């Protein structure tokens, strides 16, 4: 299965600023995804990152708040824009491919103060 390197692993940010999270996959994958895990909660899909086209967002998530890039088949970024304390969460990227199906990055723990 693919291995995903996600960074940063954690960050503390001021409200009103933006943070970009990066995920690098060690092989080409068809699909990549971004999830949010709010404190004590399960994972919620933010969007599917499409290579060469705009991401597909789930209900409740919008491009202006969570712009996503996917310039090639091994890399994607998620930006959390104009942050507020409510954005404090763990953000995880995922890829689809290989025998295990889905692989996850180690997550980015974001605290907004």
* Residue ranges in contact with other proteins by CB under 8 A: 31, 33, 41-45, 48, 92, 94, 96, 100-102, 104-107, 109
DSSP secondary structure, 18-50, as one string: -EEEEEEESS--SEEEEEEE-TT--EEEEEEEP
Q: Which is nearer to other proteins, 14 or 42 (CB)?
A: 42
- To other proteins, the closest distance from the beta carbon of 16 in angstroms equals 27
Q: At a CB cut-off of 8 Å and minimum separation 6, what does 4 contact?
A: 23, 24, 25, 26, 93, 94, 95, 103, 104, 105, 106
Q: Which is nearer to other proteins, 13 or 96 (CB)?
A: 96
Q: Which is nearer to other proteins, 105 or 112 (CB)?
A: 105
- To other proteins, the closest distance from the beta carbon of 82 in angstroms equals 26
């Amino acid at each position: 299965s693919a291995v995903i390197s996600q960074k940063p692993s954690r960050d503390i940010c001021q409200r009103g600023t933006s943070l970009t999270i990066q995920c690098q996959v060690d092989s080409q994958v068809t699909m990549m995804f971004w999830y949010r895990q709010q404190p004590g909660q399960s994972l919620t899909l933010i969007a599917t990152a499409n290579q060469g086209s705009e991401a597909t967002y789930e209900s409740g998530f919008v491009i202006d708040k969570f712009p996503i890039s996917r310039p090639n088949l091994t890399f994607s970024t998620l930006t959390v824009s104009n942050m507020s304390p409510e954005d404090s969460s763990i953000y995880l990227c995922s890829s689809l491919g290989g025998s295990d199906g889905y692989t996850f990055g180690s997550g980015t723990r974001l605290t907004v103060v």
